[in-house]
Amino acid sequence: MILAIFASGNGSNFSAIVKAIKQSVIKVESVILVCDQPGAFVIKRAQKAGVRVILVSRVDFSSRVDFEKAIIQRLKSYKVGLIALAGFMCMLSPRFVKQYRNRILNIHPALLPAFKGSHAIKDALDQKVSFTGVTVHFVDEKMDHGPVILQEQIKIRSNDTLDSLEKRVHALEHKLYPQVIKLFVEGKIKLKGGKVTTL
């Protein structure tokens, strides 16, 4: 199986996944990075790790349709079987999702359906909830939605700051995401009637 990791920023989840691949925890034929931001630090991470980079910048295309067509064309040329969104800051269209139905994973720093959106950790802290966590799910046509594969919670401490909570959430992400990708690659995730079971 060929794995494509989509990322737009720092790329810490990208590095966690690649580390698991290099340690043979996740067994794929190869991995590629798809990035839409030419200046993203994740590109340097990929180059250092010897991972092929596909840079498809949104500003180079007159429409979202053309932008996604260019990505799909590259994915098909590499025979990509699984997509892992890892901080890709561009929501995929229903047309794109349909092309790769049940083959797109996403990781979110909250216990979905709570705290959707790009400020989930801060929102949980501001709302003074007792717990937050991490969700890995299949992507569907809605934002931060789709069948949940795995969730794990984190207790929010009374002395937590945004920085301290982010560090613990990200550490949990780096553990869970490779775990879910491994299950998918090994055929141990089953989706039926919108519900996920793991073998």
Of 126, 112, 100, whose CA–CA distance to 6 is shortest?
Answer: 100
Question: Which pLDDT belongs to residue 199?
Answer: 85
User: DSSP string spanning 115-131?
Assistant: S-STTHHHHHHHTT-SE
Based on DSSP, count helices (H) and strands (E) in the chain, helices before strands.
6, 9
Question: Which pLDDT belongs to residue 78?
Answer: 96
Can you list the domains of the chain with their CATH numbers? 2-198 (3.40.50.170)
Residue identified by tokens 């494509």 is: 4
Q: Is 53 within 8 Å of 33 (Cβ atoms)?
A: yes
Which residue is catalytic, options 108, 119, 145, 170?
A: 108
d(CA 91, CA 112): 17
Question: Which pLDDT belongs to residue 194?
Answer: 85
Concerning whether 108 is annotated as a catalytic residue, the answer is yes
pLDDT tens digits in sequence order for the chain, 199 residues long: 999 999 999 999 999 999 999 999 999 999 999 999 999 999 999 999 999 999 999 899 999 999 999 999 999 999 999 999 999 988 999 999 999 999 999 999 999 999 999 999 999 999 999 999 999 999 999 999 999 999 999 999 999 999 999 999 999 999 999 999 999 999 999 998 888 999 8
Question: Which pLDDT belongs to residue 114?
Answer: 97
**Interior/surface letters 145-157, b for 16+ CB within 10 angstroms, e for the rest:** bbbbbbeeebebe
